[in-house]
Amino acid sequence: MNNTSPFDVIIVGSGAGGSAAAYGLTQAGYNVLMLEAGPRFNPATDYPLSNADWELSRFPLKPGSQGQYTFAPMQKLEPRWQHLRSKNTINGYLSNQETRIPSDAGYHHVRGLGGSTLQFTGESHRLHQDAMNMHSRFNVAADWPLSYQDLMPYYNQAEKLIGVAGDTHIVGRDYTGASLLPPHPFADTSRILQRGAAKLGLHWQANNRAALSHSYDGRPSCNYCHNCNRGCPRGDKGSADVTFIRRASLTNRLTIKTDLSVIKLENDGNQKISGVICGNHAGQRFSFSAPIIILACGAIETPRLLLNSADTHSPEGLGNESGQVGQHFMETLSWTLTGMSDAPLQTFKGLPADGICWDFNAPDSIPNIIGGCRFSSTTAEADLSGPVNYARRLVAGWGAEFKASMRQQFGQAVSVGAIGESLPNAGSFIDLDATTQDEHGLALAQIHSFLPDTELKRLEFMAQQCSNILQASGITEIVESYGSYDLFSSTHVFGTCRMGYDPLTSVTNPVGRSHRWQNLYICDASLFPSSGGGESPSLTIEALALRMASSL
């Protein structure tokens, strides 16, 4: 291609995948243009955890920092799964609908420079090796077209760059060559849960965390404020903006344009994407071109962009010749259980998700159920870091009696959470909502989500184990339980542009290049052929992006 553009590569989206690709490519000497729909966030000024009203919102909102989505009608709830309904002490059932509904959070990923990693907790997991061959072993999902060993050098590279703190002895993973920071000490929630897990013969170990246990790479260590999901004001959490993007910018080969959405990919009618068209909030249009185009908009927005880029050469959407774009959507299968301890504790502080149990993570470790799961300390992710949420959800009463209860109980909520494998099914996919458009006149992504019995059985196991762990930890007063059965609330989403060898069953080849368009790559969560047994995905997305950059 005759390139008159100053850029070698355009990356669309700056989250886990886009930022790691930008890092890898700028290190290799490429001039990269990064286009991001959302705004910039400044950790020092935008995450004001010292304000009096700090607890009232989770991650701060800015113009353009929230994506728009719609949901197709969801499945009917059934009496036989009644025990999986979400509820708490104050409100009773959290939904009074007869069907599953999106929770208040719904699909709540941040648009901004750094993408969803700005808001993420920062768990940094490698996939269990056995979770990468789900089709050949169990005839579900699809096999990864690469092995754990193929990813290993890139896992090592990403962890080192981020400054991941944690443990290298985790069942199902080879950490040869890894260089992690020392693990963080357990806060109260994990100390309590570790005792309970031990009574059940389970292993509660340090979770691998993108949070610095000592100062590193010019960033300070964590101060254990418990609020990673509100944005880390110290910049020690390994979000993409302060790690990959900062390091890529130091090369002077990265040009970043924020508040600019790519609204269409243009093609030459043959094998190449010729450029991208963008729009800003003022309605202006811009176009850019480069020899290589990389999509990293996440598992909802990447298929949306491909489908919205349909034209006479690709009437069903770009790269969608075999109808695979948007298919095999996998969501977070999750359960959270909270109990109130009798002992005086301070569970409102410490590093979120500092402890984890991997004992049921292998895909064949849950009796009679395919697909694994994991358990972790989730008091912070349950947003029990301040008094307002205690009063709204957990502690009943009025006046003097209520004040006394709050004084007695604040700091004593202990939450254990589980995340499990999410297997693709025909009822879960992303398509375009023909009736609703964004500010650029483009159809929104519509989320179709369905949980078959196989998923609900895994969820039931996760709920039962959470209960066992809390009880063994000496906590019998249950105050809240919620999960995926009646509320869609997906923090991890995957699988809508699956990678593979066969163009009939996948969208890209094993490095993420479109089977049809020779200069179009994808490097985000949409590539995943299977979800893993509850592993958090960002580190794997970053490793895939570094591998893709290396192949280029």
Ligand X SMILES: Cc1cc2nc3c(=O)[nH]c(=O)nc-3n(C[C@H](O)[C@H](O)[C@H](O)COP(=O)(O)OP(=O)(O)OC[C@H]3O[C@@H](n4cnc5c(N)ncnc54)[C@H](O)[C@@H]3O)c2cc1C
Sites of contact with ligand X (CB under 6 A): 12-18, 35-38, 108-109, 111-112, 115-117, 119-123, 229, 261-262, 296-299, 301, 305, 491-492, 524-525, 536-539, 541
DSSP string, 113-181: TTGGGGT---B--PPPGGGG-HHHHHSSS---SS-HHHHHHHHHHHHHHHT-BS-S--TT---TT--PB
Q: Does residue 293 interact with ligand SF4 by CB under 6 A?
A: no
Task: Pick what 13 binds: ligand X, ligand SF4, none; C-beta below 5 to 8 Å, kind-dependent.
Answer: ligand X
Identity of the amino acid at 210: A
Between the alpha carbon of residue 89 and those of residues 375, 409, 478, 481, the distances in Å are 23, 14, 8, 10
Least spacing, CB of residue 143 vs ligand SF4, in Å:
35
Note whether 369 and 461 are within 8 A (CB): yes
Position 54 contacts ligand SF4 (CB under 6 A): no
* Number of residues lying near ligand SF4 (CB under 6 A): 13
Tell me: does residue 547 bind ligand SF4 (CB under 6 A): no
Nearer to ligand SF4, 86 or 377 (CB): 377
Does 141 bind ligand SF4 (CB under 6 A)? Our answer is no
Q: Is 351 in the site for ligand SF4 (CB under 6 A)?
A: yes
Residue type for position 301: E
Other beta carbons within 10 Å of 448: 16
CB of 527 to ligand X, least distance (A): 9
Of all residues in this chain, which one has the CB nearest to ligand X in the complex?
15
- Show the DSSP H helices in 473-511 as ranges: none
Cβ proximity to ligand SF4: between 102 and 115 the closer is: 115
Element (H, E) at 173: none
Stretch that binds ligand SF4, among 85-93, 219-227, 420-428, 529-537 (CB under 6 A): 219-227
Minimum CB distance to ligand SF4, residue 207 (Å): 13
Q: In the set 225, 333, 382, 456, which binds ligand SF4 (CB under 6 A)? A: 225
Compute the least distance from the CB of residue 235 to ligand SF4, in Å: 8
Q: Does the protein bind ligand SF4 through residue 227 (CB under 6 A)?
A: yes
Residues 229-268 that bind ligand SF4 (CB under 6 A): 232, 234, 236-237
Binding of ligand SF4 by 165 (CB under 6 A): no
Residue with Cβ nearer ligand SF4 (165 or 444):
165
The identity of residue 94, as a single letter, is L
Stretch touching ligand SF4 by CB under 6 A, among 216-224, 241-249, 357-365, 442-450: 216-224
Neighbours of 45 (CB within 10 A): 8
Q: Residue 407 CB, nearest distance to ligand X (Å)? A: 30
Residue (359 or 381) nearer to ligand SF4, CB: 381
Q: At what angle do helices 148-162 and 538-551 cross, to 10 degrees?
A: 110
Q: Which helix (H) or strand (E) holds 267?
A: strand 261-267
Q: Residue 492's closest CA among 435, 421, 439?
A: 421
Q: How far is the CB of 344 from ligand X (least distance, A)?
A: 29
Distance of alpha carbon 425 from alpha carbon 463, whole angstroms: 22
CB of 180 to ligand X, least distance (A): 15
Looking only at residues 352 through 391 of this chain, which bind ligand SF4 when binding is defined by CB under 6 A?
none
DSSP letter string, 315-376: TT-TT-TTS-TT-S-B--EEEEEEEE-SS---TTSS-TT-EEE-TT-STT-STT-SS-EEEE
The SS3 call for residue 30 is: coil
Cβ(525)–Cβ(299) under 8 Å? yes
Phi, psi of 62 (to 5 degrees): -135, 160
Nearest to 320 by CA among 308, 329, 332: 308
Measured between alpha carbons, how far is 332 from 370 in angstroms, rounded to an integer? 16
Residue 162 binding ligand SF4, by CB under 6 A: no
Interface with ligand SF4, residue 25, by CB under 6 A: no
> Do 30 and 8 meet the contact criterion of CB atoms below 8 Å apart?
yes
Nearest to 352 by CA among 374, 377, 375: 377
Closer of 95 and 385 to ligand SF4 (Cβ): 385
Residue 369 interaction partner, one of ligand X, ligand SF4, none, beta carbon < 5-8 Å per kind: none
Query: To which residue do tokens 């176009």 refer?
Result: 287
Pairing of strands 87-88, 477-483: antiparallel
307 binds ligand SF4 (CB under 6 A): no
Tokens for 470, please give them: 């809390």
**DSSP character at residue 314:** B
Tell whether residue 394 is a contact of ligand SF4 (CB under 6 A). Answer: no
List the single partner that 541 binds among ligand SF4, ligand X, none, CB under 5 to 8 Å by kind.
ligand X
CA distance 450 to 463: 19
Minimum Å gap between C-beta 85 and ligand SF4 is: 31
If one counts every other C-beta atom within 10 angstroms of the C-beta of residue 136, the result is 9
Q: Using CB distances below 5 to 8 A depending on partner kind, what does residue 37 bind out of ligand X, ligand SF4, none?
A: ligand X
- Smallest gap from Cβ 199 to ligand X, in A, equals 27
CB of 184 to ligand X, least distance (A): 14
**From the list ligand X, ligand SF4, none, which binds 141 (C-beta under 5 to 8 Å, kind-based)?**
none
The residues binding ligand SF4 (CB under 6 A) are 211, 222-228, 232, 234, 236-237, 351
